[in-house]
Amino acid sequence: MTKADPTDISRRHLLIVAGASAAVGASPFCHDAVAAPAVKPVAPSTPPPVHSAKVSLQINGSVRDLMLDTRTTLLDALREHLHLTGTKKGCDHGQCGACTVMVDGQRINSCLTLAVMHEGAKVTTIEGLGTPENLHPMQAAFVKHDGYQCGYCTPGQICSAVAVLDEIKAGVPSHVSDDLNAEPQATALEMRERMSGNICRCGAYSNIVDAMTEVAGSRA
Ligand code: FES
Ligand code: FES
C-alpha cells in the first residue's frame, strides 16, 4: 500500500476550491470577468425639518420674545440667544447643576428643559439676583465665606442655595428630614442634602454651607 503524497492532496484541494469559485463567478482574482451586481443609488438623506416657535419669557424682570427652534433648551436660549452667559453649561445632561436657574420661583436644571415649555414664565438667572454694586445676600455670603474657587459652578450654586432656603422656609421636607410633618430647619445636613445636585469640582462645599448658614440665620 502506497502512502498518499501530502503535496498531491493540497494541489487537488486547491483545484477543487478554484473550480467552485469560478463556477459561481466569485473569483477574487478576476474582477473583470464577472459583472459586479448593480448598486442601487442611495437617495441623499434629507435633514429633519426645523420647527420654529415663538416664545415669550420674563427674564430677570424683562419680557423677551424669541423665535426658537423648538428643540432649544432653556439653557441654550439664555446663553446663545440672549447672551446671558452667567448660567453655565457643565454636563448638559442634568448631572452637575451648573445650569440651575429659577423658573416661577423654583430651581430647575435649564439644560433639561425646552424653552418653549415655559411660555410666559418668570425666569431668574444669576444676572437677575444682584449686581456687582448691589449683591444679593447669598452672593455676598459666598464672597465672604470663599464659597468658590474657579467659580464655574458658582452661579448654579447660588441660584440653588437661594431656592433651597426658600424651600426650607416654605416647610418642604427633604430626604433627610426626620419628621415630614415638622417644620424643616436649615441645618447643615438639610442644606447639604438639598444642594447635592450641584457639583463643585473645586470642592468648596463646606464654605458654601457656611455661606448658606449665614444667610439662613439672617433670615430667621
Ligand atoms: Fe445642566 Fe449640568 S449643565 S445639569
Ligand atoms: Fe470650581 Fe465649583 S468653584 S467647580
Which CATH number do you get for residue 57?
Answer: 3.10.20.30
Bridge pairing between strands 122-124 and 52-59: parallel
Same domain, 135 and 123: no
Tell me which residue range forms the domain holding 106.
51-128
Do residues 161 and 116 share a domain? no
Q: What is the pLDDT of residue 50?
A: 79
| CA R_g for the chain | 32
In the chain, where does DSSP find H-type helix?
A: 6-23, 74-76, 126-129, 137-144, 154-169, 188-194, 205-219
- Residues 216/203, Cβ–Cβ less than 8 Å: no
Q: Is the pLDDT of residue 61 over 90?
A: yes
pLDDT at residue 2, as a whole number:
46
Specify whether 108 is located in the same domain as 97.
yes
10 compared with 71, residue with greater pLDDT: 71
Atom of ligand 2 nearest to the CA of 200: 2
Which residue from 89, 126, 142, 148 has its CB within 8 A of the most atoms of ligand 2, so it is best to mutate?
148
What's the 194 CA to ligand 2 centre distance in angstroms?
Answer: 18
What mean pLDDT comes out for the span 81-87?
A: 98
Shortest CA distance to 98 belongs to which of 209, 199, 192? Answer: 199
Domain count, the chain: 2
Residues 141 and 189 in one domain: yes
> With a 6 A CB cut-off, is 107 part of the ligand 1 pocket?
no
pLDDT tens track for 185-214: 999 999 999 999 999 999 999 999 999 999
201 lines ligand 2 (CB under 6 A): yes
Does 33 have pLDDT greater than 50?
Answer: no
- Clarify whether residues 215 and 170 are in a common domain: yes
Specify if 32 maps to a domain: no
Residue nearest to atom 2 of ligand 2 (CA): 200
Is position 21 within any domain?
no
Ligand 1 atom closest to 88 (CA): 3
**Is 202's C-beta closer than 6 angstroms to any atom of ligand 2?**
yes
Residues 215 and 196 in one domain: yes
Work out the pLDDT band at 38, boundaries 50, 70, 90. Answer: confident
Does 97 reside within a domain? yes
Angle between helices 205-219 and 154-169 (to 10 degrees): 40
